[in-house]
Structure 1
Amino acid sequence: MDRLNAEPVDPARVTAVLVGIEVYADGDWYGELRGPARDALRFAEWLRARDVPAENITLLLAPTPDFAAEADVRAAFLGVSVRPATADLVRKAFTGLDRNRQLLFTYWGGHGVIAPSTMRRHLVLSESTERDPQSVLFDDLRRYLACEDEEHLDLTRQIFIIDTCGWYLKRREREPVPRLFPQGELADKEVDQYVLFASRDGQGAINDSGLGTTEFAQQVLGHLHSGPRVLPPDVEELTRRVDGYFSAPVRATDVTQTPVSIHTRSYAGSERDLGSPFLRERRVLPVAPIHLRDALGRLHERSTHHIGRFALSRSGIGAHAGLHAINVGYTTVDMKAGVPKRAAYATVRHFYDAIPDGRLVVRGPAGSGKTVLAVHLATELLENRAKDEPVPVLLTLVNWRTPPPESRPDGSQAGYDRLVRHFEGWLAGQLLTQKLCDDAQTARELVEGRWLLPVLDGLDEVHAPREAEGDGSAGYLVAAIDRYLTAGSGRPAPVVVTVRGTGDDESRPGPSSACVVEMQRLSVPEIVGALTDGVPGYPTDEEWEALRADLRLGEGSTAVRRLDSPWKVVLAVKAVTGPRPQVPVPELVHALVRTGDGADEALHERLLAAFVPAACADAVVAEPRPPDAPTAVRWLAQLARHLGRHTSEDLTLSRLWVIAGERRVRTVQAVAHVVIVLFFCVACLLAAVGGPGQAAATAGQLIDGTADLSGATGRRLWAAAAFSVVVTVAAAATGMAHRTWVPVVKRRTRGLRERFEGPKRSRLPLSILSGLEIGGAIGLAFGLGTFLLFGPLAGLVVGGVIGVALGYGMEAKVGLDRTLSGNFFPAYYWMWDGLGLLAGAVTGSLVFRLVGYAPLSGAAFGAAVGFFAAFAVGLIGWLRYVIAMTMMKRRNLLPWKVAAFLDWGHRAGVLRVHGVSWQFRHAELQNWLAAQAEERPPRSRPASSGRLRGLRERVVPRVE
C-alpha cells in the first residue's frame, strides 16, 4: 500500500461517494437499520474537516423517517446536499465521476449479501424487494473504476469502506440482480484500490440501533479523526488499528465480527487478506468417492425426512401462532475453539460456519431449547449442504451403550483405537436402525470417511454421569467422541452435542476441542411476545393485568423467572388455551406472581399435570380423537415407566409387547403355536394311517384296535410322528424365544396414517399383496389340515373362508399387519415365502418317495408346509405384538391399537418421531409421568347392554 500513501493529495482533487441506506422498499425482507445514513454523514463531516470541497462530495441517503429532517440540516451545515439513494442516482454517482481527480473515497453502509453461486458480494439497493432484489455487484463496480478512460486517467487511488454484512444467501432465496456498470479494458496505469470490509465472508456487521452506528464505523472514524490531516489516510495503520481491535483477546468479549482488508494494485494483480487471525480458515474438503455419492444422496434425503418428522407436531412450541417464533438466544462460554465469548451472529447457521472445525456443544437447563436449536441447525445445514460437505444426522445419545471391557481405553493408543472403533460401530448401527442407510458396509464407510455430521442429542441422558475421562458410560462416550474427531480419514470431523447444564457447572461438557454455547433465558420482551401471540386477549383482558404489571418490572419481575424458557411458556399457554382450559386464568396469574417458599415447584407441578389433559382437549388435533384425559395420562405413564425400566428413549412397536410381561406373553404364544400345530399334526397322523379325508373312520379303527399299522402304513405313521414331534418342538421353541426373528425388527416401519392414507392407487397394491400373503398362508394351512381330515371339498371351503376372512380382515380392515410390529415390505416376505415353498416341495417329494407316496403329492404337501412355515416365522413378532396388546387392553394398561395412540401423541405434541420409533418430546414431562403412582386400572369389559353402557358413561364421563 506504499504507493497509495506515497504522497499527499490536494483535498481539491479528492472526490467522495457516501451511501447510507437505512430503509428498503420491502421492509419485511430487508430490515430497517438505524446507523448507515448517520455514519455516512459522519464520514462527510470528516472529509469536510480535511478541507475536501462540498461540491466534491456526493451524499446518497435513505434515512429512517425520524432522521430525515436532521440529515438535511446537518448536510446543509456542511454545504452538501442530500440526494436519495436510488439505484439510478447511485449508478450516476460513479459513472459521472470526474476522473481528473486523484483520490476516490467511497463509503457504503446498509445491507449486503454473498451469492453462493458466484461467491461475490452484493450491496443491496434501497428499491430491493423479495421478488425483485436489486443490488450493486461490488466486484463489478471495482472493475469499472479500474477500466481505461482516454479522457480521465488520474483517478488511480481509490479507498472503499464497506460497512455491510457478508451473509451467504440461502438456496431458497432469490439472488440479487445487479445494476451493471459498463466494462472496458483495464487501464494500463496501476490503479491502487484499497477495500476494508466490515466482515469476512459468511459473517455479519452488527448494527447498534440504539447508538445509531456500528462498532466498525466507530473504529474507522475514531482512527481517521485521530490521524494526521493529510489525505489519503494511512491505510496500513487503519488496517492494523481495526484488525487489532476486533481480534485482540483483551477485547474478546466485545468481538462480533471479523473485518477484512484487500489491497489491489491492478484488477488482475495480487490481493492480500488481512482478516483476523482469531478465526482460523476451515479446510477445503475432498470430493466424495464415486461409489459413495449415491449413498450420500440417499443419506441426505432420508436425514431430511427423519429430522423433519422428529421436529413436526401440532403442539408444543409450535402449538399456537407465534410460539414457534421464540428465538432463544445463546452465548459462547469459552474460547478454546477460536470463537470469542458472547460472539453475536444473526443465525445459528452463520455462527456455526464461523467455528473452524464445526464442533459445537449446546448446553442449557431443561426446556431451554437445546434440541430445538440443534434441529434447526441441522435443518439449515441440510438445506444448504454442498456435495462435498458431511450430512447432518440426528441421533439420541440415550441409545449409547457402554463399551464392553475389551473396548475400553487402558491408557494406550491401541486402547483408544478400540474405543473409537466401538463408537464408529455404534454410529453405523444407528444409521441402520434409523433406516438412514441400506447396508452395514456402506454405513461403515460413511462413518469411517467422516461423511456424516453427528448431531448427538442428550449427553446428560447417558446412563452414568460424567466424571474423569473414561469413568462411567458418559465418560467413555466423551472420550470416544474426542478420539473420533482426531482419528480417521484426515477430513475434519464435525460434531454437534447437546447437554443439560448451566454456567454454574465446573466441568466443561462434551469434546475438548468444541465451541461451547449456552442457551439464554427468555427476556421480558420475548415472554410478552410469546404470550401475546399464544393467548387470545392477553394484551387487553383485565384478568391478565396483574401479570402484565408484574412483567413491566423487568428483571425484577417474579413471573419472568417462572416463564424464562420456551418449555415453561408452552406449559402456561397450553394450560389456559383451547376449547376447555385446564387452568383458570386467575389461578395461573396468581400462581405466576405470588411469592413464597415452594411457589415455583407448585406452579410447575400444576402445569405439568395440565399438559396431557390440554392435549386431549386440543381442538386442532384431527381424528382419531384421543381417549379421556385420565386414561391418556395412565397410558403415557405406562410408556414412560417402560422406557425407564429399559434405559431407552425409543418407543418401538416391535418391543412394546414386553410391557405385558415377557414370560407371560411368550407362554401364551407358545401355547397358541402348539395348539395350531397339534391340529395339523393330528390330521397328518390320521391321514398317514387311513388316507386323506378318512379321519372319522380311521379314528374309530384306532380306538377299536382294528387299524393295520404294519408295512408301508407303519413307515408312514412313524414318518408322520417324527414330523409332528419336530414341528411341535419348533413351535414351542419359537413361541418361548426371547427374541423374534431379526428381520422382523429391522424392516422398514411406516406409521398407520402413512399406511392407510394417501392416493388409493398407491396403497391398494401393497394391501392386496399383504392380504394375499396373510390369507393364502393361513388359509392354505387350515385348508390342508381340513383336507387331510375330511376331504378335498371341506378343505377347499374351510381354507377359502379362513383365507378370505383373515386376509381381508387382518390387512384391509383391522390393519394389524406387520406394519404395527415394526415392518411392512411385502416383496421381502414373498421372497422368503417362495424360498420356503421351494425347499418344502423338494423335501416333501423326497420323503414321500421314501414312504411310498407319489412324489408329486409330496411336492404339493411340502410346498404348502414350507410356505406356511416361512410365513409363520415372519409372523412371530406380529403374533407376539397382538397377544400382548390384547392382554394389555383387557387389563386397560394400553389401547389395543397402540400405534394409533402414539400417532395421536405425535400430532398432539406429547411425542415426536425418531426414525422407526416415537420419543417423548419433553424429557421433563416424561420424568413426571414416570413418577406418577402406578394405579390398578379397571379391566376393560364389553358392556352387555345399552343400559350398562349408559351407566358406565355416567360414572366415567368421556372427553370427546
Structure 2
Amino acid sequence: MAEEDRADARNTVYGDVRDSTLIQAQRVDVHHHEATPHRWTAWSDTLARQVRDIEEPACRRLLGDDHMRIDLRYGLVEEAGRPARNAREAGRLLPSDSVAESSESSWSSESPELPDIWTYFTSISPHRLVISGPAGSGKTVLALELMLALIEKRAPGDPVPVRIPLADWDTRTPLDKLLVEQLRQVYDWPRCRARQLVERRLVLPVLDGLDEMDEPLRGGNPNPNAPRARAALAELNRMQRYREPMPLILTVRDDAYAALKRGQQPDRQRRLLDAARVAIEPVPAPDALTYLTRRATDRTRWRSLFDHLAARPDGPLARLLSTPWRLCLVATVYAAKGDPSELVRRRRARKLDAFLLARYIPAVTALHGDQYDPADVHRWLHPLARHARGDGDYGPHAVLALHELWRMPPDVAVRRFRGLLLSLGYFILGIPALVIPDSLGTLTMLGIAMCGIGLFIALSKRELRNDSSPRTLRHLSPWHHPFHFTALVTGMVSLALTTSMLADIRWAVSLTCGVLLPIMLTQLFHSPADVVAPRQIIRQEFASTALGTVLVCVASTVTVGRRYSLLDSVLLAVPASVCGYFIVLGGASMRYLAFRTLTRGTLPVRLGAFLDRSTGAGLLRRGGLGYEFRHRELRDWLADHAEPPNS
C-alpha cells in the first residue's frame, strides 16, 4: 500500500473514532439533562430570572435607553489550528424577521440567510465564542443580546449565562471558584447551592473585557506581555465539561487579541482554543443614517447631516460614524437641541470623540431632568473614573462597588482613621469608671490597653486581617462559621458547668440573644430571591453589623450584670461592645465609613442615590455588585479631565 493510501486510511479510522467519541459525549450530555433533578432545574430557572433582571436594563442603557437597535454584522476570523466546528462565515445580531419589521437594514436584502447571534452560537461545537472588534464596535451589546436570547429560548436544565467583568478577576482564583463567588455575592446565593450549580455546569460564563485586564503601554497600545490576560486564557483553555472544552463567551478588542497572539508563549496562553472568533464589522452608512433618522424627533434640525451622509456614504464623517458607540453619542447629544450639521467639519476620530464627550453629560442631564448640575456630575465622576481605570494603588476596577470604594483614598489614611477611632472609643470607655464604684482599676487598664491597640493600628504599615466583602444577616448564622460556633457553645457550656450557673436565667437570656436569635433571623434570608441593588448591599452590611453589635451588647450586659447593677452594666458593656465589634469587626461597613469621611467634599453626600441617578441617565450601568461606566471611552475621558471643558 502506498504511503498516501496508508495516511488516508489512518485519517479515516481516526475520524471514525473521533466522531464516535463525539456521539457518545453528546449522548452522555443528553442523559445528563434528562437526569437533572428538579431542584437544580428550579435553581437554574431562578438564576435565569435574576440575570435577566440585571442584564436587560444594562443592555437598554447601552442602546441609549431606547428600543432602536443596530443590526450588527460580524464575520468569522480564521484561526490556525483547533477552531470550533460548524462555524458559519458570517452572521448578524437580529433574526431576519425582526430586521424586516424593525428597520430597513442594508444587509436585509443582501444576505437574508445569515444566522442571528443565537443560531450562530448554538450551532458551533463546542459552544465557545470570541467576540472581537475595535473600540465602540458593540462587543458588549452583542454579548448581552446573546445572553438575553439564550435566557429567552432556554429549555429546562440548560445553562444560564452569567456575565463577569474580567478586569476584576484575580487570575490566581480558578474559574469555578470565581463563578461560585459571583453567584454568592451578586445574586445572593448560598455557597453550597452556587457550588452545585457550577459543578453541574448549569452556569455559562460570559467573560467581558479580556483587553481590560492589563494596563496598556505608555502610548496607549496593548501590552503584548499582558500577564493577567495570558493567565486567564490558560485557565479558560484548561476548563472542560465532560471531556469537552467548557462552553463560554469572551469579548476582547481586536488589537489586544492580536498582540496576545504575537507572543512566544504556548498556544493556550495566546488565544482561546476550540473556539470560533468573530469580528464585528463597521456599520454601513445607510444603516447609520436609518438609525439616526429613527432616533431623531425633530428631523428638520437633522436634515443637513442626513443629506451629507446620504450624499457621501464613503466620506470621512460616514467612516467615523460607523460604530454604535459614536452613533449613540450623536443621537444623545443632539436629541433635544443643537445643530448636528456642525459634525461635518470633524474629520478626525480623536477630535470628534472629544467634541461629543464634552457635550454628553450636559445633554444627558437635560434629557432626564436631573437635579444635579452637569459640572458637579462631571467633577464627582472624575475620581470614580480614575479609580475604575486603576490610577490608584489597587489597579483597575471595572465594577464600582460601594463596599470596595474604600480603596480610593490612600491605604494609610484608612488605617489611621480606624486606629484613631478605636482609640477614641476606648478612651470614652474609661469615663464610666468615674461614676461606677470598684471599677476604676479594671477599666483604666482596659482603656490604656485598647488605646495602645488603636494607636498601633493607626501607625502600623500592615493592615490587620479583616473581611471587607459585604455581609448579610446570613453571616450571623452559626453554620457560616462552624468552628467559631462550636468553640463558643463549648466555652459557654463549660463555663456554666464550672461555675454552677447553668440554671441562671440571665445566662439563658444571654445564650438565646447571642446564638438562637441570629439563627431565627437568618431563616428569612435562606433562599435567593430578587437581585439585590448596589445600595442595598451596603445597607445590608450596616444592618448586619448593627444587629451583631446589638446582640453582643445584650449578651455582654447580661454577663456583666452578675456583678454590677443594670445601669452600671449598660455603661460598662455597651461602649466596650460597640467599640470592639463595630470598629474592630465592622468589616466593609467600617471601611465605607472611613471612605466617606476621608472623601467628604469630593463626592456627593448621598453617593448611592447619585450613582443610581447616573445609571438611570445612561452614564453608568449595573454590573455585578455595583456600577460600571457605560463605555470605556467615557471612563477614560472623565479620568483625564478633572474639570468640565467649556462647551
- Which has the bigger relative contact order, CA under 8 A and spacing at least 6? 2
2:130 aligns with: 361
Letter in 2 for 1:302: Q
Letter in 1 for 2:325: W
Once the two structures are TM-superposed, the CA of residue 471 in structure 1 deviates from its matched residue by 7.0
Indicate whether 1:742 and 2:511 are aligned: no
Match of 1:634 among 374, 379, 399: 379
Residues 728 and 876 of structure 1: is their aligned pair in 2 closer, same or farther, counting only changes over 3 Å?
farther
2:640 aligns with: 931
What is the distance in 2 between the residues matched to 1:435 and 1:302?
Answer: 7
2:233 aligns with: 478
1:392 aligns with: 161
Letter in 1 for 2:84: A
> What's the RMSD between the two structures over aligned residues?
3.8
Residues 345 and 479 of structure 1: is their aligned pair in 2 closer, same or farther, counting only changes over 3 Å?
same
1:461 aligns with: 212
What is the distance in 2 between the residues matched to 1:744 and 1:389?
Answer: 30
2:311 aligns with: 552
- Equivalent residues in 2 for 1:342-421, closer than 5 Å: 342=90, 345-403=114-172
Letter in 1 for 2:139: K
Residues 285 and 326 of structure 1: is their aligned pair in 2 closer, same or farther, counting only changes over 3 Å?
farther
Indicate whether 1:649 and 2:398 are aligned: yes
2:599 aligns with: 888
Residues 546 and 678 of structure 1: is their aligned pair in 2 closer, same or farther, counting only changes over 3 Å?
closer
Residues 550 and 536 of structure 1: is their aligned pair in 2 closer, same or farther, counting only changes over 3 Å?
same
Once the two structures are TM-superposed, the CA of residue 394 in structure 1 deviates from its matched residue by 0.8
Task: Confirm or deny: 8 A CA contact 1:334 1:341 kept in the other structure.
Answer: no
Figure out how many residues of one structure are paired with residues of the other and give that number: 517
Once the two structures are TM-superposed, the CA of residue 899 in structure 1 deviates from its matched residue by 1.4
Once the two structures are TM-superposed, the CA of residue 333 in structure 1 deviates from its matched residue by 2.1
Q: Secondary structure at the match of 1:518?
A: strand
Residues 739 and 447 of structure 1: is their aligned pair in 2 closer, same or farther, counting only changes over 3 Å?
farther
Once the two structures are TM-superposed, the CA of residue 331 in structure 1 deviates from its matched residue by 2.0
What is the distance in 2 between the residues matched to 1:445 and 1:504?
Answer: 33
2:612 aligns with: 903
Deviations 1:201-226 (A, max 9, x none): xxxxxxxxxxxxxxxxxxxxxxxxxx
Task: Confirm or deny: 8 A CA contact 1:546 1:589 kept in the other structure.
Answer: yes
Letter in 2 for 1:446: L
Task: Confirm or deny: 8 A CA contact 1:397 1:458 kept in the other structure.
Answer: yes
Task: Confirm or deny: 8 A CA contact 1:390 1:451 kept in the other structure.
Answer: yes
Deviations 1:4-30 (A, max 9, x none): xxxxxxxxxxxxxxxxxxxxxxxxxxx
What is the distance in 1 between the residues matched to 2:585 and 2:71?
Answer: 48
What is the distance in 1 between the residues matched to 2:550 and 2:41?
Answer: 34
2:175 aligns with: 423
Indicate whether 1:664 and 2:416 are aligned: no
1:606 aligns with: 355
Q: TM-score, normalised by structure 2?
A: 0.70
Task: Confirm or deny: 8 A CA contact 1:912 1:921 kept in the other structure.
Answer: yes
Once the two structures are TM-superposed, the CA of residue 291 in structure 1 deviates from its matched residue by 6.1
Q: TM-score, normalised by structure 1?
A: 0.49
Residues 328 and 831 of structure 1: is their aligned pair in 2 closer, same or farther, counting only changes over 3 Å?
same
Once the two structures are TM-superposed, the CA of residue 373 in structure 1 deviates from its matched residue by 0.9
Match of 1:327 among 43, 51, 71: 71
Residues 871 and 298 of structure 1: is their aligned pair in 2 closer, same or farther, counting only changes over 3 Å?
farther
1:447 aligns with: 198
Indicate whether 1:318 and 2:64 are aligned: yes
What is the distance in 1 between the residues matched to 2:335 and 2:163?
Answer: 32
Indicate whether 1:918 and 2:636 are aligned: no
Q: Secondary structure at the match of 2:600?
A: helix
Match of 1:437 among 189, 200, 224: 189
1:720 aligns with: 443
1:678 aligns with: 427
Deviations 1:593-630 (A, max 9, x none): xx5xxx33222221122222222222xx25xx353223
Q: Secondary structure at the match of 1:521?
A: coil
Indicate whether 1:589 and 2:344 are aligned: yes
What is the distance in 1 between the residues matched to 2:52 and 2:473?
Answer: 17
Q: Larger helix proportion, structure 1 or 2? A: 2
Match of 1:577 among 331, 335, 345: 335
Residues 632 and 428 of structure 1: is their aligned pair in 2 closer, same or farther, counting only changes over 3 Å?
same
Letter in 1 for 2:333: A
Identity rate of aligned residues, in percent? 26
Match of 1:337 among 81, 84, 89: 84
What is the distance in 2 between the residues matched to 1:345 and 1:285?
Answer: 32
Task: Confirm or deny: 8 A CA contact 1:845 1:862 kept in the other structure.
Answer: no
Letter in 2 for 1:521: P
Q: Secondary structure at the match of 2:319?
A: helix
Task: Confirm or deny: 8 A CA contact 1:467 1:475 kept in the other structure.
Answer: no
Q: Secondary structure at the match of 2:440?
A: helix
Q: Secondary structure at the match of 2:207?
A: strand
1:832 aligns with: 548
Match of 1:495 among 248, 251, 254: 248
Letter in 2 for 1:476: A
Letter in 2 for 1:428: V
Task: Confirm or deny: 8 A CA contact 2:423 2:455 kept in the other structure.
Answer: yes
What is the distance in 1 between the residues matched to 2:45 and 2:202?
Answer: 11
Unaligned ranges ≥5, structure 1:
1-276, 404-420, 692-712, 750-817, 938-955
What is the distance in 1 between the residues matched to 2:333 and 2:258?
Answer: 32
What is the distance in 2 between the residues matched to 1:387 and 1:610?
Answer: 47
Residues 307 and 748 of structure 1: is their aligned pair in 2 closer, same or farther, counting only changes over 3 Å?
farther
Once the two structures are TM-superposed, the CA of residue 296 in structure 1 deviates from its matched residue by 2.9
Task: Confirm or deny: 8 A CA contact 1:885 1:895 kept in the other structure.
Answer: no
Letter in 2 for 1:342: A
Task: Confirm or deny: 8 A CA contact 1:521 1:564 kept in the other structure.
Answer: yes
Residues 649 and 503 of structure 1: is their aligned pair in 2 closer, same or farther, counting only changes over 3 Å?
closer
Letter in 1 for 2:163: L
What is the distance in 2 between the residues matched to 1:504 and 1:727?
Answer: 54
Once the two structures are TM-superposed, the CA of residue 348 in structure 1 deviates from its matched residue by 1.3
What is the distance in 1 between the residues matched to 2:401 and 2:350?
Answer: 33
Deviations 1:646-690 (A, max 9, x none): 3111111123234344333443444344334323312x22124xx
Once the two structures are TM-superposed, the CA of residue 639 in structure 1 deviates from its matched residue by 0.9
- Equivalent residues in 2 for 1:740-819, closer than 5 Å: 742=467, 745-747=470-472, 819=535
Task: Confirm or deny: 8 A CA contact 1:652 1:917 kept in the other structure.
Answer: yes
2:279 aligns with: 518
Residues 376 and 546 of structure 1: is their aligned pair in 2 closer, same or farther, counting only changes over 3 Å?
closer
Task: Confirm or deny: 8 A CA contact 2:75 2:278 kept in the other structure.
Answer: yes
Residues 302 and 740 of structure 1: is their aligned pair in 2 closer, same or farther, counting only changes over 3 Å?
farther
Letter in 2 for 1:824: Q
What is the distance in 2 between the residues matched to 1:743 and 1:666?
Answer: 13
Residues 670 and 901 of structure 1: is their aligned pair in 2 closer, same or farther, counting only changes over 3 Å?
same
Once the two structures are TM-superposed, the CA of residue 389 in structure 1 deviates from its matched residue by 1.2
Q: Secondary structure at the match of 1:745?
A: coil
What is the distance in 2 between the residues matched to 1:291 and 1:831?
Answer: 32
What is the distance in 1 between the residues matched to 2:473 and 2:359?
Answer: 36
Residues 638 and 834 of structure 1: is their aligned pair in 2 closer, same or farther, counting only changes over 3 Å?
closer
Once the two structures are TM-superposed, the CA of residue 477 in structure 1 deviates from its matched residue by 0.8
What is the distance in 1 between the residues matched to 2:416 and 2:376?
Answer: 28
